[in-house]
């Protein structure tokens, strides 16, 4: 699929909000999410979609949406399957708005979400990011557990290092829980998350240090460089301290992956007792994956 765009008149009010969306074989829920975007009471200045090589009709659905969307839409084709993280990176780097809103293909935004975010940013010009609560929903769009979540915690923590935040207590999106998700909650409730984490650990590739460890370490080094430019900020200095602790944990995980089984068990147990897996990784899943990897 080639890149394609639609140009319409942008929303006249500031700030200009770009939406970054990553897609991969999301036809089952994608139309519902796209409808929630086109129905926003505050329209974005653009939607940038990075597809990751879909083969299920997702690309055709995106082409259909380009023709009817009330805002500019740009779809970036995939050169190869790289995963959702890289897809989001491509979308984010292409966005041209003042603010970027991340969007998952299988969720559903409440129609006033961007309006509330824009109002919050206008009221707090120094804010670096805005977040809201979100409802969890099942395959049918119903609430399976009556709980709420906060999304994109890792990226939020990075932005918070150099800028204050605005919290909106009301849920402004519905987060869909299902087994096909690449990231995020796959089952509601502690037991469901535990089952899913252990399943992922047992089926993970066992071919040496995980590639995501190296990606996270590279991201940390980049962020440390940026934060070093803001050492006059108490917020930046505190974040730099936390980053150093995270970096130490990730280096420990990389060394665990290189060890023989007895060493992996001993080192992972030590990291677990220190609480590092719970604080800096994905808890039991990350610990089990490090031990089982061979």
In terms of domains, do 275 and 135 share one?
A: no
Q: Are residues 183 and 205 in the same domain?
A: no
Rg (Cα) of the chain, in Å, rounded? 20
- Total domains in the fold of the chain: 2
What per-residue confidence (pLDDT) applies to 162? 60
Which of residues 145, 168, 188 is at a domain's end?
A: 188
Check whether residue 125 and residue 236 sit in a common domain: no
More confident residue, 258 or 211: 258
Weakest mean pLDDT among 28-32, 200-204, 274-278:
200-204
Last residue of a domain, one of 149, 167, 188: 188
Contact status, residue 210 vs residue 132, Cβ threshold 8 Å: no
162/35 same-domain check = yes
Residue 193 lies in a domain: no
Q: Is the separation of the CB atoms in 129 and 165 below 8 Å?
A: yes
Where does a domain end: 166, 188, 210?
188
Asked whether residue 182 falls in the same domain as residue 213, the answer is: no
pLDDT at 70 over 80: yes
Assign 133 a pLDDT band (cuts: 50, 70, 90).
confident
Q: How far apart are CA 268 and CA 276, in angstroms?
A: 10
Kindly state whether residues 71 and 123 are assigned to the same domain.
yes
Strands (E), the chain: 4-6, 17-23, 46-51, 73-76, 99-104, 108-109, 129-137, 148-149, 165-176
Using an 8 Å Cβ cutoff, are 249 and 213 in contact? no
CA distances from 56 to 17, 29, 74 (A): 29, 12, 19
DSSP state of 128: S
Question: Residue 251's domain spans which residues?
Answer: 198-292
pLDDT of 286 reads 86
Do 49 and 177 lie in one domain? The reply is yes
Q: Which residues contact 274 (CB under 8 A, 6 or more apart)?
A: none
For residue 204, being part of any structural domain is answered with yes
| pLDDT tens column, 216-256 | 777 777 777 767 777 777 767 777 888 888 889 999 998 99
The pLDDT value recorded for residue 173 is 82
The rounded Cα 115 to chain-centroid distance in angstroms is 21
Give backbone dihedrals phi and psi of 247, rounded to 5 degrees, phi first. Answer: -60, -40
Query: Is the pLDDT assigned to residue 267 strictly greater than 70?
Result: yes
CA distances from 232 to 162, 225, 227 (A): 11, 14, 10
Over residues 138-188, the pLDDT tens digits come to 555 454 444 433 334 555 555 665 667 787 878 888 776 644 444 444 444
Residue linked to tokens 């074989």: 25
Residue 207 DSSP SS3: coil
Same domain, 184 and 253: no
Q: Per the domain annotation, does 111 fall within a domain?
A: yes
Domain-embedded: residue 35: yes
pLDDT, residue 169, reads: 79
Whether the CA torsion 9, 24, 140, 144 is positive or negative: it is negative
Residues 180 and 220 in one domain: no
Q: 256 and 144, same structural domain?
A: no
CATH number, residue 110: 3.90.550.10
Q: Is residue 269 part of a domain?
A: yes
Q: Which of 12-16, 51-55, 191-195, 205-209 is most confident?
A: 51-55
């Amino acid at each position: 699929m080639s890149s394609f765009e639609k140009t319409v008149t942008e929303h006249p009010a500031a700030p200009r909000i770009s939406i970054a969306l990553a897609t991969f074989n999301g036809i089952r829920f994608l139309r519902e999410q796209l409808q929630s975007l086109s129905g926003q009471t505050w329209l974005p200045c653009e939607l940038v979609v990075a597809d990751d090589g879909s083969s299920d009709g997702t690309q055709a659905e995106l082409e259909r949406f380009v023709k009817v969307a009330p805002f500019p839409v740009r779809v970036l084709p995939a050169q190869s399957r790289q995963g959702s993280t890289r897809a989001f990176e491509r979308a984010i780097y292409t966005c041209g708005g003042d603010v970027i809103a991340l969007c998952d293909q299988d969720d559903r935004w409440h129609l006033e979400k961007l309006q509330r975010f824009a109002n919050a940013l206008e009221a707090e010009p120094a804010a670096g990011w805005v977040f809201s609560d979100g409802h969890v929903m099942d395959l049918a769009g119903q609430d399976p557990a009556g709980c709420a979540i906060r999304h994109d915690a890792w990226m939020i923590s990075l932005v918070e290092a150099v800028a204050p935040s605005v919290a909106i207590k009301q849920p402004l999106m519905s987060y869909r829980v299902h087994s096909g998700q690449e990231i995020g909650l796959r089952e509601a409730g502690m037991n469901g998350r535990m089952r899913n984490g252990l399943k992922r650990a047992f089926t993970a590739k066992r071919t040496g240090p995980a590639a995501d460890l190296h990606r996270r370490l590279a991201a940390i080094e980049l962020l440390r460089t940026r934060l070093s430019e803001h050492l006059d900020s108490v917020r930046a200095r505190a974040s730099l301290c936390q980053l150093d602790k995270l970096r130490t944990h990730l280096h420990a995980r990389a060394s665990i992956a290189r060890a023989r089984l007895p060493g992996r068990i001993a080192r992972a147990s030590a990291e677990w007792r220190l609480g590092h897996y719970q604080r800096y990784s994905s808890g039991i899943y990350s610990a089990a994956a490090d031990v089982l990897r061979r």
